[in-house]
Each structure stands twice: as C-alpha cells, then as structure tokens.
C-alpha cells in the first residue's frame, strides 16, 4: 500500500537527518584541556595599545606539540596582535607567553612567521630565496641546497627553481614562501592569513598542500584567519575570538577526518553554525543587531560577521 511506503520513506529520511545532526554535533566539540605541558602556553595575556585600544584581554590558550590551531575572528579582534606576541615581535602589556617552557622575550629561530605577502627577494630565484635563510643559519651551500630542493619539491615547484618571483603566479610565490618557512624546520609555524590574497581555487589548492605537508611532519601551527571554512578545513582546534576587548569566545576541537574538503557537507554545515552562533552572540550583546556578514567574495570565503559590539557577548559554545 502506498501510505506504508510513504511512512517508511518519511521515517528513514527523519532517521537519516537525525543521524546527520547528531554526527555533525560530535564533529565540533569544546576542546578538553590535555594532560602534559603545553608547547605554547598563553597565560592571561593582555595588550593595550598606546591609543588605548584594548587589543587583548585575559587570553588563555594552550597549544600542544603537533597541534594545528586556527585563531578565528572578525577584523580587529586581536588575532595578529596575539600572533606577533607569540613570534616575539611585540611584548604584551600583561600576562606571559612560554614556548617549550621558555618565556618569549623576542623573536627566535624556533618560531617562523608567515604573512599574507610572500615577501620574497625579487632579485633572487626560487632556490636562492629558500637557501638564503638556511645559509644565514650556518648551513653549508650543499646542505642548504639539498634542504631547499626537498621543500621546493614538497610544494610542487620542482622545475621552477631558477625562476624569479615576478615570473611566478601569486599562488606559486606563496608556495615558495611556505617552502622557505618549512625548510627552516621551525618548532612552531605562525601564519597570519597567508592565503587571504589568493583566489578561491588557488586557496583551496594551498589548503590541500598544507594539509598533506602537515600530515607528513605534524608541525605545531598557529594559523590566523577570519574565514570560518578555512579554519575548519585546516584546524585540529578552532579558537573563536571576538573584539573590543580581544578575547577568546570558544575553544573548539574539530573531529572531521583529514584530508578535508572545504565543500564537504559537514564543513559547510559547521561553518554555518559557527557564523550563526557568532552572529547570535553579537546580537545578544548589542541593542541594535550588528550587520550580517556581507556576501562571501567567493564560495569558500564564509567570513565571520564583521562588527563586534563593545560589550562582552555570551559564550558561543552554548549554541554549537
């Protein structure tokens, strides 16, 4: 009888949707504090600029060896300030940062920082750009050459060693920058929106590449982004921040198996949940609801809502 079939189809559809919902819930859970000493320990870090902007307030983050942690938040919430403090490029006005138990008091060879600009020497070839910092660290020409070529191969630029930066596309320049950073074998890789200037397709290729290299080496990475989907594709953990004052709203563990695809249904659904929860948290603390995020520039952009209210919103976790 047809109604029996309709009934069965309805239940099976409902069951499927329920399974999906429960499954998706388990893919993004609040991070549990791990046992053992943290590789990077950020304790009650605060920073106020001289113009009295409170860029960071009471930020507590532990990053363990081999974790890929994404700092996610809207423009101005203090992501770069925190990253520069980790790099030792600025001293926060309050709190402590340690890496491997040592207080960070300046830049060090254990930490390499990558920016949105590839920052290559225009007069040097791909190979020379990669060998230069290795030679500066005392490697022989042969050692530096071998190491640079290994990472040029890993970022799929073999055959382009003798080209100059202006002969490369933006994505290729960023791959050189990645090879140069990885060849230095830093203990911690710090990345400030490194793929922000790339088009969607190139960015997606960079995500694939970075994931495959990371799965090989399991470096400790702190990656700043305001792109929710990018954070979910790359991070073991996503630390959601809000601004004025810059603070941590939620520390989430991503349990989606790797390699991850930005168009994966779970990633799209979870990214919507993070954006909605951020939007709700912001709206709850603002008399007039903040403007919604503009339409993404491309299909993988998913930026977090742009404006942060001045009062503290409730934690985002409740809605996730």
Closest residue to Mg ion using C-beta atoms: 80
CB of 206 to ligand ATP, least distance (A): 18
Question: Which entry of ligand ATP, Mg ion, none binds 175, CB below 5 to 8 A by partner kind?
Answer: none
Query: Could you tell me if 44 and 60 are in contact, meaning their C-beta atoms sit under 8 angstroms apart?
Result: yes
Interaction between residue 294 and ligand ATP (CB under 6 A): no
Interaction between residue 128 and Mg ion (CB under 5 A): no
Query: Could you tell me if 315 and 250 are in contact, meaning their C-beta atoms sit under 8 angstroms apart?
Result: yes
Rg (CA), the chain: 21
Question: Which listed residue (28, 70, 81, 249) binds ligand ATP by CB under 6 A?
Answer: 81
Q: How far apart are CA 145 and CA 153, in angstroms?
A: 12
Interaction between residue 80 and Mg ion (CB under 5 A): yes
Question: Which listed residue (41, 61, 63, 77) binds ligand ATP by CB under 6 A?
Answer: 77
Which residue, 115 or 132, has its beta carbon nearer to ligand ATP? 115
Q: How far apart are CA 98 and CA 140, in angstroms?
A: 32
Residues in binding contact with Mg ion, number by CB under 5 A: 1
Angle at 41 between CA 36 and CA 47, to 5 degrees: 165
| Subset of residues 230 to 249 that bind ligand ATP, contact rule: CB under 6 A | 246
Q: How far apart are CA 107 and CA 184, in angstroms?
A: 14
Q: Would you state the structure tokens that stand for residue 102, as one six-digit string?
A: 């040592």
Interaction between residue 55 and ligand ATP (CB under 6 A): yes
Interaction between residue 51 and ligand ATP (CB under 6 A): yes
Alpha helices in the chain (DSSP H): 2-27, 79-87, 126-136, 141-154, 170-183, 200-217, 228-234, 265-284
Q: Would you state the structure tokens that stand for residue 188, as one six-digit string?
A: 């911690």
CB of 303 to ligand ATP, least distance (A): 9
Which residue, 80 or 250, has its beta carbon nearer to Mg ion? 80
Residues that bind ligand ATP (CB under 6 A): 49, 51, 53, 55, 73, 75-81, 226, 246
Residues of this chain that interact with Mg ion (CB under 5 A) are 80
């Amino acid at each position: 009888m047809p109604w029996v079939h309709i009934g069965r189809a309805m239940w099976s559809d409902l069951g499927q949707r329920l399974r999906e919902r429960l499954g998706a819930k388990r893919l993004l859970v609040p991070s549990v504090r791990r046992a053992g000493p943290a590789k990077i320990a950020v304790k009650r870090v605060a920073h106020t600029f001289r113009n009295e902007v409170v860029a960071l307030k009471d930020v507590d983050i532990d990053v363990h060896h081999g974790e890929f942690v994404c700092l996610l938040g809207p423009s101005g919430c203090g992501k770069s300030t925190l990253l520069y403090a980790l790099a030792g490029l600025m001293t926060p006005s309050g709190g402590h940062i340690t890496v491997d138990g040592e207080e960070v008091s300046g830049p060090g060879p254990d930490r390499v920082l990558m920016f949105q600009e590839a920052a290559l020497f225009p007069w040097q070839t791909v190979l020379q750009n990669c060998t230069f910092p290795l030679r500066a660290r005392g490697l022989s020409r042969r050692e530096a050459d071998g190491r640079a070529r290994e990472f040029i191969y890993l970022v799929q630029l073999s055959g382009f060693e003798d080209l100059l930066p202006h002969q490369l596309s933006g994505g290729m320049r960023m791959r050189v920058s990645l090879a140069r950073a990885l060849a230095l074998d830093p203990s911690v890789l710090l990345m400030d929106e490194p793929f922000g200037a790339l088009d969607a397709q190139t960015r997606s290729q960079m995500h694939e590449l970075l994931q495959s290299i990371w799965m090989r080496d399991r470096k400790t990475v702190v990656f700043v982004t305001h792109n929710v989907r990018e954070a979910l594709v790359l991070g073991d953990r996503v630390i959601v921040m809000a601004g004025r004052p810059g603070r941590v709203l939620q520390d989430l563990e991503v349990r989606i198996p790797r390699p991850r695809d930005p168009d994966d249904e779970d990633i799209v659904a979870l990214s919507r949940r993070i954006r909605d929860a951020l939007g709700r948290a912001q709206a709850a603390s603002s008399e007039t609801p903040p403007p919604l995020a503009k339409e993404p520039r491309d299909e993988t952009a998913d930026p977090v809502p742009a404006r942060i209210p001045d009062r503290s919103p409730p934690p985002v976790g409740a809605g996730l």
